[in-house]
């Protein structure tokens, strides 16, 4: 966060990780750009910052115009969903550096928030209510484990997924990351809603991401009810086919169906639910540290 007049500029950068390997295998590249935008704008919105513009970096050994065009198409769609401008980018050809047909991408988002509107977790208190926004699947973290599970189970990406008719494993796993920008801005701006903290559930899952919003010196933790939502069957399949990956490890690696967590003041919980009826009530802020799944 950088001071800029009466506001802060908020910047974030990220990539898509080894989810790219699935895109290479399937030859499907039109959703990767959405993931790329989502990973950065979902980070900066946690401070209350509205994304202003986005830059991308696309690197490959030899440029495949159709492939690159598909990726950029997704980036354009991600920027449309987050209501920010695709300001520009860089395309780099580096012969011999990448395997044939492969590439890497990185994204950079900049947003702004008024100084008196920054969400920094400083007002989080015991008794505050935790709301959750559902994910669309694995999003863009945990794919090293996903790929290992596919390997040991002998599952091919083109096989039909047992939990949804007409859907393959590849389609389920490449589902683009949800962009929460508009939904969060609407909630933050809703009358009577006091948003005190926002967490993007990415690498590290619940136990590593959520405690980060508690300011140093505050002895606060989070009690989350496991029965507050139904974990999507994709995650249960991964757990089973991974020879019984421990529940704690699943919540540490994946979002388990919750892509964004919002802390609201208890007195404004009803107003928040009225503003966003589809938000899930997950639990509450409690004394003590850590995340407690009960």
When divided into structural domains, the chain yields a total of 2
Do residues 160 and 210 both lie within one domain? yes
Residue 33's pLDDT band, with cuts at 50, 70 and 90, is very high
Do residues 258 and 161 both lie within one domain? yes
**For residue 123, is it within any domain?**
no
Residue 215's pLDDT band, with cuts at 50, 70 and 90, is confident
Do residues 43 and 170 both lie within one domain? no
How confident is the model over 217-274, as pLDDT tens digits? 899 999 999 999 999 999 999 999 988 889 999 999 999 999 999 999 999 999 999 9
Helix/strand/coil for 119: coil
**For residue 124, is it within any domain?**
no
Q: Note whether 223 and 286 are within 8 A (CB).
A: yes
Do residues 45 and 73 both lie within one domain? yes
Choosing from 55, 88, 117, the residue where a domain stops is 117
Residue 281's domain comprises 129-293
Choosing from 79, 94, 117, the residue where a domain stops is 117
Tokens of 208: 């590593």
Query: Which residues neighbour 62 within 8 Å (Cβ) at sequence distance 6 or greater?
Result: 93, 95, 100
Do residues 140 and 100 both lie within one domain? no
Distance CA 154, CA 197 (A): 41
What is the average pLDDT score of the chain? 96
Do residues 156 and 285 both lie within one domain? yes
pLDDT at 98 over 90: yes
How confident is the model over 75-97, as pLDDT tens digits? 999 999 999 999 999 999 999 99
pLDDT value at residue 244 = 80
pTM attached to this predicted model:
0.96
Do residues 140 and 285 both lie within one domain? yes
**For residue 36, is it within any domain?**
yes
pLDDT value at residue 53 = 98
How confident is the model over 198-214, as pLDDT tens digits? 999 999 999 999 999 99
pLDDT value at residue 242 = 86
Tell me the DSSP string of 54-90: EEEEEEESS--HHHHHHHHHHHHHHHHHHT-EEEEEE
């Amino acid at each position: 966060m950088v001071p800029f007049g009466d506001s802060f500029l908020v910047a974030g950068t990220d990539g898509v990780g080894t989810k790219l390997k699935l895109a290479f295998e399937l030859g499907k590249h039109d959703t990767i750009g959405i993931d790329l935008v989502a990973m950065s704008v979902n980070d900066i919105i946690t401070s209350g910052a509205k994304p202003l513009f986005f830059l991308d970096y696309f690197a490959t050994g030899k440029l495949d115009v159709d492939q690159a065009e598909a990726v950029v198409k997704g980036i354009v769609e991600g920027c449309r969903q987050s209501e920010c401008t695709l300001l520009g980018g860089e395309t780099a050809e580096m012969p011999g550096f990448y395997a044939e047909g492969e590439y890497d991408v990185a994204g950079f988002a900049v947003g702004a928030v008024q100084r008196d509107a920054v969400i920094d977790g400083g007002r989080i208190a015991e008794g505050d209510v935790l709301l959750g926004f559902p994910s669309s699947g694995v999003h863009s973290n945990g794919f090293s484990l996903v790929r290992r599970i596919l390997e040991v189970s002998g599952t091919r990406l083109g096989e039909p997924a047992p939990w949804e008719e007409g859907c393959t494993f590849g389609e389920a796993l490449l589902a683009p990351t949800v962009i929460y920008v508009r939904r969060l801005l609407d909630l933050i701006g809703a009358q009577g809603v006091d948003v005190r903290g926002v967490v993007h559930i990415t690498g590290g899952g619940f136990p590593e991401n959520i405690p980060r919003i508690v300011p140093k010196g505050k002895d606060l933790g989070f009690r989350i009810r496991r029965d507050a939502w139904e974990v999507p069957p994709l995650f249960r399949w991964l757990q089973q086919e991974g020879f019984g990956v421990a529940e704690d490890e699943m919540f540490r690696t994946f979002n388990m169906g919750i892509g964004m967590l919002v802390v609201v003041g208890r007195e404004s919980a009803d107003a928040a639910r009225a503003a966003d009826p589809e938000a899930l009530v997950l639990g509450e802020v409690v004394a003590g540290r850590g995340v407690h799944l009960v």
